[in-house]
Structure 1
Amino acid sequence: MEIESTPLQDPGSGEIQVQVKACGINFADISVRLGLYAAAKNLYPLCPGLEFSGMVAQTGPGVEEFQPGDRVFGVSRFGAYSTVVNTVSDHLWHLPENWDFSRGAAFPVAYLTAYYALHHVGHLHPDDRVLVHSAAGGVGTALLHLLRANGNLSAGVVGRHEKVPYAREAGASLVIDKEKQQLWEAAEQWSPEGYDLILDANGASTLKASYNHLTPGGRLLIYGFASMFSPTGKKNYLKLMWYYFKTPRFNPFHLTGTNRTVSGFNLIYLFDKKTFFREIMERLLRLDRENKLPEMPLKSYPFEEVAAAHKALESGKTVGKLVLLT
């Protein structure tokens, strides 16, 4: 990645120009950097980044909801790793008074993903038992917050012992520590009948076993492939080949015979469903006002240290969210 200076364009009709104060970092950004993100394949070269916060600098014709000086946060179809973003009002919200810019930049992708996964793809019921992989990461933490708010029992899986208290604090009823425990043995002991809902962003390393631990009628939700990435930050073609052949293919006869569901989704394809998208965010902000969404663990990096932030996320040692401060 390189930091470049580009000409500043005035906001067009219906656009808002935001002076960015912070931008969130996601695994999708790493996938974009490596050229592996399908939604970006026709857009290179591009600036990564899906979420940001800042202050409105100016507005284009027709904008009434936002004024210069407003504190805001929002999403962007790439381009959020920037000091200035031009966006539309459908992708922008007023920053709650008790939030700082870091929290605003860390909120949208994790919580929109988690809410959509649980309530729209996963059809969450109050009595569902749920297993969450990568439970101390950004989306994992958001999932646990929302499950606790909904009253569900949940098992949170973490890959490092030091992450156990973070998953427990986020709301996991049980935390499975893969450094100290055998994952599926512990999962079976806690819920011998299986799980109604399993959320998996690991990919090939756990998908098959996740599917095998669903109850009849259970749902497996796939929203990422973290185990595909190398901790070196570079493409490992042998690992990618292994990953491809290791990824399970789900038999439709077995799916119908067990009444199970396997679903995958990518949040970015919801950006154009403007009314639906905003309805989800309004529900999330309502939960926050009701004090049901604790603050996400955060670590910030200076904008110029974006490479170090990506390396940290790829290492698997981080918890919560990482943000860049401009």
Structure 2
Amino acid sequence: MPLHLLGKKSWNVYNTDNVARVRRDEAEAKLREEEEERRQQEIDSERRLDLLRGIKPRDLPDVEPKSDPPRPARRNDVDRKVKKRKLPGEDDTDRDIRLARLEAETSRNYKTVERSITDTSLKDQKGNINLFADERGRVEKNDEAEKEAQKKKREYEDQYTMRFSNAAGGREGVRTPWYSTTTQTPLDTSTKDVWGNDDPMRQKREQARNASNDPLAAMKKGVRQLKEAEKERAAWKAERDRETALSLDQSLHSSTDRKRIHGSTELDDIDGFDLNNEARKSREHKHRRRTDLGINMSTVLEANKYKIYIPQP
């Protein structure tokens, strides 16, 4: 039968009274824990003050073991009590003495554990004062044992773990990394083919294939071709400049020769028309006319002197 149909039952876990009782018990337990923690902190602070003042710290109060709340007595509880058995050759008195001694030792160990938990020292192993030491105490570890365990753990992890330190030598020691050297070791390529026959050209084919697949080799080849093209372009440009200079020099020489032959420093001929020649002809004509006039005048004067008639041209 579903539980929501049994709300009238006192043992129903969903009953309002039962839920309230559980919450009340939880609140009381929480208050007891907070009170116990506060009392423990007060005791620890008093002991710290005593240590700072240089006096003997106060003794810790006996910590009573927590006992379960009493439960109502039931029938046959006395009968249910387990009796301690006697050891062989032991009577009732010896058994009681042994049990009392065992109980006292157990209680002493319990008090020692409680004292070690609450009694925290203000000084650590190095002698430094720590006013905020952990109240629960610290478990001191053996450094050598910890190092040995860490070493074994690392050796086990090295079997399936790859670390960056392995690039520098790993367990073999620190050495020069492989990527810091420029020398390249040649690959040990077999000189035999797949059938076991000698093939001396196999290494060359392997090197050629590696070079063709190597992007760095392709980049170097491109740079080399670019430099060769630049050299060829520079040579072609120099040859062109030289030919241009030679052609210009030849044209200047030919022009100078023509000027020297014609006796003129500047030629202005257009279809046989020369300004210098026309000017020269005009000057020669004027000079010839003056000469003729001079001769004629002298002849006229002589003729007048001797009364001789000279016909004019």
TM-score bucket (shorter structure): under 0.3
Greater share of strand: 1
What TM-score do the two structures reach when normalised by structure 1? 0.14
What TM-score do the two structures reach when normalised by structure 2? 0.15
Greater share of helix: 2
Bigger RCO of structures 1 and 2 (CA < 8 A, at least 6 apart): 1
